[in-house]
């Protein structure tokens, strides 16, 4: 926010807006006039001559999106294009722009070129002279250029070298390799010499089990020229020294840079969430050079930032200004006042807790893991971020985990998580395998990366954890990565592990301690912070993949795992047919079809076999691809609900449940609950219910149903719970109702029933138990328990009556069924219309009235509406 001269008159009443303000630093974006090409002497040039010609480029952008925009490649997301586009990641790409400068800019004493993101091995020249050699996509590169600029025709050139070709000779020369991630199936990189772990580039670009392999390159974030004379505010850092409901004791550190030995006036003001000034201060600075000014601040009755569901997301504005004879500079930060700690108390059985404590209050974390929002991050807009993060909030989440195989998100992401009250578990960008931490230069590069990003993001109150990596410690200890290398070369294995400990146990821990303003550090996920076992239910956080992953246990196995904090677990499903239609024609939509396999990345395209295994075990055989999509979503939603409710029912032993995953990187099969186009799968509708502040966990295991009532409210509530045992025709076989004082922030087990007690001789295939939390006649939460696999239930053929009518504000849909309908799904085909709820059970005789969101006529709505339930799906052969 520097250089806003017009703002200074309203910025601080303590300082007078003067002519000196016109000398404020200038920021000029260099995003225009770029062009790109494949280097003519590149090995790929013979087969791709058209790419060696100059073409218009978009900055920020990537080479893949530039090639697509110039019709040089097909859409990477449509059909099975991936295999034919791997040559791009092997090429060397040149970008160039030219720009003029006015006399005022050239007269400035200082000039810096700033690249916020160069992906990855980049050689930068300015006016024909070398300027920078970058080697880290995650870093911000600042290069002084004063004296190297001219008035006309400045030439800025960037050449990107292939990370595969750059690193492959070194990796192939290693006598014994360290473990990588996903080998390429396309021949562009040998399976036994993967380079992804050796380069500081988003790991998912090399392919993952939910997205394509596109090893892209480019100027993927902003590039600008900064010029200034006189003083400069480099940073504002707000340290919280003490905070409670009565007062906030802060220390505001201003990093000031100046040349001349002259006095500067430094002014600070803080505005509360309503824009009211609550603090002002001034100070004179006389020493030259770069220095730090510390200003104490006390705020009475502060409005604290809280996670969603626990209070307001209050944010303050901190503004600083320095003024001297040579000019002025201003800087602004938006902050939240909160404290955060990771509670690790030991228990009597040798276990150790894992709970986030915000403002002194333990918070049960409810949420999901977040992956990158696109294979090409420059395409991700603030609107797309809001769409998916708002979906997380709408599903009653209060935490997301930013997974380590992608990239550090833009400020927009964290502005939104601050606003929405979503705590962020932030991984450093290490997605798996093993790193060359034994290489001092590699570690130094990572430390610089970490410092860059912590300083950029540390003022966001939503960030509550910095975590070293994803699954690298458990891979070494539990997956055979360590034992295999130890068997091959014990000395090298020790070197590798010692380097890992140095990087993740020492270097990153120190950077977080020095820079992150009190946010805790965790070495790896899952782990116990480098202590003993890496993936343990009794200590630290846990990833559980024996359901879905090998040995592909049934979803009921979730009930046998009670961790201290479950940070990953998941089941896969396909997105809606409307999303599938974007990349596959109706003729291509076959479970075993090549295009569908190309968009199923688990087990190298064989993931549909695993998906069918789970569908057929519980729900029967899909009749066709549409059935397959519907049943995959039902299976995913049912299974994750079972796990999440078990985690919540295990509070306070368990204090977090983050399923894998919230979002998608493209249109394909994945573990997401919100697909690439923002469409909610059945899981996300379920999540809104199982993560609600009041919920019912009626969990059946081995013929016993345990009923636990869940509350995230801050006060106790006088309520009732009700049990109705019913048959599928709607006949109530028995009913009971009990008063309960539901404690605040609690999981209260209130009853336990055997199947015999519930059924009393009724047919288990035609009977269900309905457990509800009631406030008088209002049902606040519900869970239905079944006594056999869905495919064994004698669900009656349903005829769900539906009507759509206008109500003055739009349209409402009314549903009613004479018989029980399980897993009701409402769909409007190609219409952009969404019901306010979906993926629910409809009891016999029950009526649901749902508002419809979207634009369509009444006639179009009636024609497009399709309502189905589980009785309509399954049982016949696949196609």
Query: What is the per-residue pLDDT across 703-750, written as a single tens digit (0 to 9) for each?
Result: 999 999 999 999 999 999 999 999 999 999 999 999 999 999 999 999
Give the pLDDT mean for 576-595: 97
- According to CATH, the superfamily of the domain at 380-532 is Glycosidases (3.20.20.80)
Mean pLDDT of the chain: 94
How many Cα atoms are found within 13 Å in the side-chain-facing hemisphere of 569? 32
Q: How confident is the model at residue 303 (pLDDT cuts 50, 70, 90)?
A: very high
Least confident of 8-12, 27-31, 172-176, 565-569: 8-12
Give pTM, 2 decimals. Answer: 0.95
Q: In terms of C-beta distances under 8 Å and separation of at least 24 residues, what long-range contacts does 293-297 make, across chains too?
A: 293/253, 293/254, 293/256, 293/266, 294/251, 294/252, 294/253, 294/254, 295/251, 295/252, 295/253, 295/254, 295/268, 296/249, 296/250, 296/251, 296/252, 297/248, 297/249, 297/250, 297/251, 297/252, 297/268, 297/270
Q: Please say if the pLDDT value at position 18 is more than 50.
A: no
Q: Please say if the pLDDT value at position 22 is more than 80.
A: no
How many Cα atoms are found within 13 Å in the side-chain-facing hemisphere of 74? 11
Question: 399-402 and 423-427: which strand pairing?
Answer: parallel
- Backbone φ, ψ for residue 467 (5° rounding): -115, 135
Q: How confident is the model at residue 258 (pLDDT cuts 50, 70, 90)?
A: confident
Q: Please say if the pLDDT value at position 14 is more than 80.
A: no
Q: Please say if the pLDDT value at position 11 is more than 90.
A: no
* CA distance readout (Å), 577 to 308, 636, 850: 33, 16, 22
Q: Please say if the pLDDT value at position 2 is more than 80.
A: no
Per-residue pLDDT tens for 155-204? 999 999 999 999 999 999 999 999 999 999 999 999 999 999 999 999 99
Q: In what order do the strands lie in the sheet with 232-243?
A: 232-243, 247-257, 291-300
Q: What CATH code would you report for 694-791?
A: 2.60.40.10
The reported pLDDT for the residue numbered 288 is 65
> Across-strand partners of 389?
none
Q: How confident is the model at residue 326 (pLDDT cuts 50, 70, 90)?
A: confident
Percent of the chain with pLDDT over 90: 92
Q: Can you tell me whether residue 691 is helix, strand or coil?
A: coil
The answer to whether residues 233 and 331 touch, using CB atoms and an 8 Å cutoff, is yes
Q: Please say if the pLDDT value at position 13 is more than 50.
A: no
**What residue spans of 705-773 are helical by DSSP H?**
755-759
- The residues annotated with a catalytic role in the active site are 471
The reported pLDDT for the residue numbered 16 is 37
Enter the DSSP assignment of 702. T
- Gap between the Cα atoms of 309 and 849, Å rounded: 26
- Gap between the Cα atoms of 447 and 449, Å rounded: 5
Q: How confident is the model at residue 291 (pLDDT cuts 50, 70, 90)?
A: confident
Q: What CATH code would you report for 27-225?
A: 2.60.120.260
Q: Please say if the pLDDT value at position 876 is more than 60.
A: no
Q: Please say if the pLDDT value at position 21 is more than 50.
A: no
User: What HEC string does 151-162 produce?
Assistant: CCCEEEEEEEEC
CA terminus-to-terminus distance, the chain = 58
- Gap between the Cα atoms of 305 and 460, Å rounded: 10
Per-residue pLDDT tens for 334-387? 999 999 999 999 988 889 999 999 999 999 999 999 999 999 999 999 999 999
230-325 classified as CATH 3.60.9.10: no
Per-residue pLDDT tens for 847-868? 999 999 999 999 999 999 999 9
The reported pLDDT for the residue numbered 579 is 98
Q: Where are the beta strands (DSSP E) in 116-263?
A: 118-119, 121-126, 129-134, 141-144, 154-161, 218-219, 223-228, 232-243, 247-257
The reported pLDDT for the residue numbered 447 is 98
Q: How confident is the model at residue 290 (pLDDT cuts 50, 70, 90)?
A: low
Q: Can you tell me whether residue 50 is helix, strand or coil?
A: helix
Q: How confident is the model at residue 90 (pLDDT cuts 50, 70, 90)?
A: very high
Question: 821-827 and 840-842: which strand pairing?
Answer: antiparallel
Q: How confident is the model at residue 292 (pLDDT cuts 50, 70, 90)?
A: confident
- Backbone φ, ψ for residue 620 (5° rounding): 100, 180
Helices (H) then strands (E): counts for the chain? 18, 44
Q: Please say if the pLDDT value at position 23 is more than 80.
A: no
Q: How confident is the model at residue 818 (pLDDT cuts 50, 70, 90)?
A: very high
- Gap between the Cα atoms of 72 and 262, Å rounded: 57
- Gap between the Cα atoms of 474 and 848, Å rounded: 47
As assigned by CATH, the class of the 544-690 domain is alpha beta
The reported pLDDT for the residue numbered 261 is 74
Tokens of 685: 């509708």
Q: Please say if the pLDDT value at position 9 is more than 50.
A: no
User: If you count them, how many residues does the chain have?
Assistant: 879
**What residue spans of 434-532 are helical by DSSP H?**
440-457, 472-478, 481-488, 490-500, 508-515
Asked, colleague to colleague, whether 27-225 and 380-532 share their fold, the answer is no
* CA distance readout (Å), 87 to 43, 186, 215, 669: 10, 10, 9, 25
Q: What CATH code would you report for 801-872?
A: 2.60.40.10
Give the pLDDT mean for 117-144: 98
Residue 291: alpha-carbon gap to chain centroid: 36
Where along the chain do its domains lie?
27-225, 230-325, 380-532, 544-690, 694-791, 801-872
């Amino acid at each position: 926010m520097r250089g806003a001269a017009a703002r200074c008159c309203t910025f601080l009443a303590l300082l007078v807006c003067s002519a000196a303000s016109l000398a404020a630093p200038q920021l000029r974006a260099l995003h225009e006039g770029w062009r790109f090409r494949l280097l003519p002497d590149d090995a790929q040039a013979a087969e791709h001559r058209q790419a060696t010609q100059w073409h218009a480029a978009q900055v920020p952008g990537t080479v893949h999106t530039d090639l697509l925009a110039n019709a040089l490649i097909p859409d990477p997301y449509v059909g099975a294009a991936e295999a034919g586009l791997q040559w791009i990641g092997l090429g060397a790409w040149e970008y160039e722009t030219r720009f003029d400068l006015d006399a005022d800019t050239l007269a400035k004493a200082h000039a810096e070129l700033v690249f916020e993101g160069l992906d990855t091995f980049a050689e930068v020249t300015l006016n024909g002279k070398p300027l920078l050699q970058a080697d880290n996509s995650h870093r911000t590169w600042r290069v002084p250029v004063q004296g190297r600029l001219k008035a006309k025709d400045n030439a800025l050139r960037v050449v990107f070298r292939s990370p595969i070709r750059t690193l492959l000779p070194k990796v192939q020369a290693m006598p014994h390799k360290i473990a990588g991630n996903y080998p390429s199936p396309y021949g562009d990189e040998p399976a036994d010499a993967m380079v992804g772990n050796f380069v500081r580039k988003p790991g998912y670009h090399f392919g993952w089990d939910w997205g394509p392999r596109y090893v892209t390159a480019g100027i993927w974030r902003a590039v600008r020229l900064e010029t200034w004379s006189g003083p400069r505010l480099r940073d504002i850092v707000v340290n919280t020294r003490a905070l409670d409901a009565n007062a906030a004791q802060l220390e505001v550190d201003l990093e000031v840079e100046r040349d001349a030995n002259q006095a500067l006036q430094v002014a600070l003001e803080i505005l509360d969430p309503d824009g009211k000034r609550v603090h002002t201060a001034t100070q004179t600075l006389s020493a030259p050079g770069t220095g730090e000014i510390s200003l104490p601040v006390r705020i009475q009755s502060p409005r604290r930032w809280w996670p969603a569901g626990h209070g307001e997301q209050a944010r303050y504005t901190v503004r600083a200004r320095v003024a001297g004879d040579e000019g002025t500079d201003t800087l602004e930060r938006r902050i939240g006042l909160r404290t955060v700690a990771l509670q690790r108390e030991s228990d009597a059985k040798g276990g150790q807790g894992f709970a986030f404590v915000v403002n002194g209050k333990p918070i049960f974390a409810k949420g999901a893991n977040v992956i990158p929002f696109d294979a090409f991050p420059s395409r991700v807009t603030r609107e797309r971020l809001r769409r998916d993060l708002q979906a997380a909030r709408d599903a009653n989440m209060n935490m997301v985990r930013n997974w380590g195989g992608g990239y550090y998100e833009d400020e927009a992401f964290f502005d939104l998580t601050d606003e929405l009250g979503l705590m962020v578990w932030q991984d450093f960008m290490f997605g798996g395998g093993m790193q060359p931490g034994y290489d001092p230069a590699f570690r130094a590069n990572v430390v610089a990366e970490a410092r860059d990003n912590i300083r950029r993001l540390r003022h966001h109150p939503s960030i509550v954890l910095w975590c070293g990596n994803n699954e690298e410690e458990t891979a070494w200890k539990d997956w055979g990565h360590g034992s295999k290398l130890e068997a091959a070369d014990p000395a090298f294995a020790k070197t590798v592990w010692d380097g890992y400990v140095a990087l993740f146990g020492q270097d990153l821990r120190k950077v977080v301690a020095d820079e992150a303003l009190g946010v805790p550090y965790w070495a790896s996920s899952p782990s116990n912070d480098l202590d003993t076992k890496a993936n343990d239910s009794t200590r630290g956080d846990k990833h559980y993949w024996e359901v879905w992953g090998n040995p592909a246990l049934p979803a009921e196995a979730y009930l046998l795992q009670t961790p201290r904090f479950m940070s990953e677990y998941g089941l896969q499903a396909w997105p809606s047919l409307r999303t599938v239609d974007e990349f596959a024609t109706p003729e291509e939509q076959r479970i075993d079809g090549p295009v569908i396999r190309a968009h199923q990345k688990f087990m190298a395209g064989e993931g549909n076999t695993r998906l069918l295994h789970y569908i057929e075990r519980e729900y029967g055989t899909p009749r066709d691809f549409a059935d397959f999509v519907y049943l995959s979503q039902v299976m995913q939603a049912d299974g994750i609900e079972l796990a999440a409710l078990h985690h919540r029912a295990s509070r306070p032993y368990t204090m977090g449940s983050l399923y894998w995953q919230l979002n998608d990187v493209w249109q394909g099969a994945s573990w997401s609950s919100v697909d690439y186009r923002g469409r909610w799968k059945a899981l996300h509708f379920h999540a809104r219910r199982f993560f609600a502040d009041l919920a019912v966990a009626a969990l059946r295991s081995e013929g016993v149903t345990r009923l636990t009532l869940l509350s995230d409210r801050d006060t106790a509530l006088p309520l009732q719970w009700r049990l109705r045992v019913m048959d599928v025709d709607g006949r109530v076989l028995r009913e009971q109702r009990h008063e309960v004082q539901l404690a605040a922030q609690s999981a209260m087990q209130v009853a336990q029933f055997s199947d015999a007690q519930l059924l009393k001789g009724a047919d288990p295939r035609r009977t269900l138990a309905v457990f509800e939390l009631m406030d008088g006649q209002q049902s606040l939460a519900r869970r239905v328990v079944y006594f056999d696999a869905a495919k064994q239930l004698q669900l009656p053929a349903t005829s769900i009556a539906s009507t759509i009518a206008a109500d003055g504000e739009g349209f409402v849909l009314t549903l009613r069924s004479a018989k029980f309908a399980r897993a009701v799904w409402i769909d409007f085909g190609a219409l952009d219309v969404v019901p306010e709820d979906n993926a629910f059970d409809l009891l016999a005789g029950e009526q649901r009235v749902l508002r419809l969101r979207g634009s369509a006529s009444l006639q179009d709505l009636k024609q497009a509406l399709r309502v189905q339930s589980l009785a309509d799906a399954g049982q016949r052969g696949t196609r």
